[in-house]
Structure 1
Amino acid sequence: MSHNHGVTPTSPSRRSVVKGAAWAVPAVAVAAAAPTVAASQGPLTFTGGACKLPGNANDIFKGYVFELSAYNAPGPNPVTGVTVITNVRINNVPVTGYQVVVYSGSTCTCGTCTPPGSTTCNTFCTPDGATQRIFVYTNSQQNSQNTSFSLDYQRYECSTCTAIDPTPVSISSGSLSTPPATGGGGSCNIQGAVPAPTLSAACAGP
């Protein structure tokens, strides 16, 4: 058995110390910033415009008018879109009569497609790539300072009358202020809502 007497132990090299430290110190994960996702506009969305219709606003609808934006993205599904609006509600109370009006934007007709539940009061056509301003006039009014509107809609492809939305889509405006509209506009915040476009008494319901 031999012993190393008188030999001074050598100190670890600086390189060895650094190498060992790399194992001893936990790694800090640096999270990359998540990419910003732009909010996409839905096919049918509330704009936030809503007005109360007093007796002198028009001769047929004495409720409200609210505004939506309709957008048909370029390309298929649908190429020419047919939208049916149903189950219109004011503060969750069903409306018995209403009329959907395309106020501005490109328009179209689709004589080959009459979806279930479609009438001249609740259906409109949107060309490929078009954006439209949509007014919905109601015959019901709530005694409330702020009002919320909700509805269901379902889109179809004109050429085949195939449903693009497998089931109706529900959307809501949230609570909105509803300033009064008069024949001259009043304080209504929807440009063009009054005087009202051509409205049909058949759409006003009972």
Structure 2
Amino acid sequence: MSDLEEQKPGVSRRTVTKAMAWSVPVVALAVPTPAYAASPGVIELSGLGCKLPGNSQDTFKGYAFRASIQNTTNAQVTVTITDMDLGTSDLGDVGIIDLNTCTLLGTNTFVIPANTTLSNVALVTENAATSENGALIVQYTVEGVPDTASATADGLPPIQGNTCEENVFSATERTCINSIVA
């Protein structure tokens, strides 16, 4: 528009368009993010464990490791152990035993109820190719989200010995483990 043209009273289309561009509300999309995605690991290893006797067990011939498992969310979660290694040895399938109730929660996959801490758990492995010490690594998923727990495992005594009872599992806990894996 030139200076010579007559200006019309009111608001121009250009002014209305600019105002609309700035006044359009921003819509935030609420995409649910699982609480466990940002939380610390669900499985915590102590590194303490005992070796199971090789040929006297039908199902698990490996190790029993002390652990705790925690779900701080308001929903139950499914945990799947995808790999467990000690040093360079793959420990195979893993049974998860709640030592307080002497219950097998599952083999590799188990459910943790909402807002639950299982502070007295044994992870019992299928294999023990060698009597190896070193890095104990558990890789797992929580509802498909990968995570890892690790500890150093040294001096893993036989489960039927006094050293295991004094340092790792009580007599009651050892009886529980043996009753489930036998």
| TM-score past 0.5 threshold | yes
Q: Contact 2:99–2:121 at 8 Å: present in 1 too? A: yes
Give 1:181 shift.
0.8
- Partner SS, residue 180 of structure 2: coil
Give 1:56 shift.
7.7
- In structure 2, C-alpha distance between the alignment counterparts of 1:89 and 1:55, rounded to whole Å: 17
1:136 aligned residue (105, 115, 123) = 123
- In structure 1, C-alpha distance between the alignment counterparts of 2:162 and 2:58, rounded to whole Å: 16
- Partner SS, residue 104 of structure 1: coil
- In structure 2, C-alpha distance between the alignment counterparts of 1:104 and 1:130, rounded to whole Å: 13
Pair 1:53–1:199, CA change in 2 (3 A): closer
Q: Highest Rg: 1 or 2?
A: 1
- In structure 2, C-alpha distance between the alignment counterparts of 1:143 and 1:93, rounded to whole Å: 7
Q: Contact 2:63–2:128 at 8 Å: present in 1 too? A: yes
- In structure 1, C-alpha distance between the alignment counterparts of 2:169 and 2:46, rounded to whole Å: 10
The structure carrying a bigger strand percent of its residues is 2
1:84 aligned residue (58, 80, 84) = 80
- In structure 2, C-alpha distance between the alignment counterparts of 1:148 and 1:60, rounded to whole Å: 24
| Percentage of matched positions with identical amino acids | 26
Aligned-residue CA RMSD (Å): 2.9
Give 1:142 shift.
4.7
- In structure 2, C-alpha distance between the alignment counterparts of 1:95 and 1:68, rounded to whole Å: 16
Match of 1:198, as an amino acid?
I
- In structure 2, C-alpha distance between the alignment counterparts of 1:55 and 1:171, rounded to whole Å: 25
Q: Contact 2:48–2:153 at 8 Å: present in 1 too? A: no
- In structure 1, C-alpha distance between the alignment counterparts of 2:152 and 2:128, rounded to whole Å: 16
- In structure 2, C-alpha distance between the alignment counterparts of 1:56 and 1:154, rounded to whole Å: 31
1:137-152 superposed matches below 5 A: 137-144=124-131, 146-152=133-139
Q: Which runs of 5 or more structure 1 residues have no equivalent in the other structure?
A: 1-39, 110-119, 157-162, 201-206
Match for residue 65 of structure 2?
A: 66
- In structure 1, C-alpha distance between the alignment counterparts of 2:130 and 2:95, rounded to whole Å: 21
Q: Contact 2:50–2:65 at 8 Å: present in 1 too? A: yes
TM-score by length of 1: 0.54
Pair 1:81–1:52, CA change in 2 (3 A): same
Pairs aligned (count):
135
Which runs of at least 4 in structure 1 moved beyond 4 Å after TM superposition?
A: 55-59
TM-score by length of 2: 0.61
Match for residue 97 of structure 1?
A: 93
Q: Contact 1:72–1:128 at 8 Å: present in 2 too? A: yes
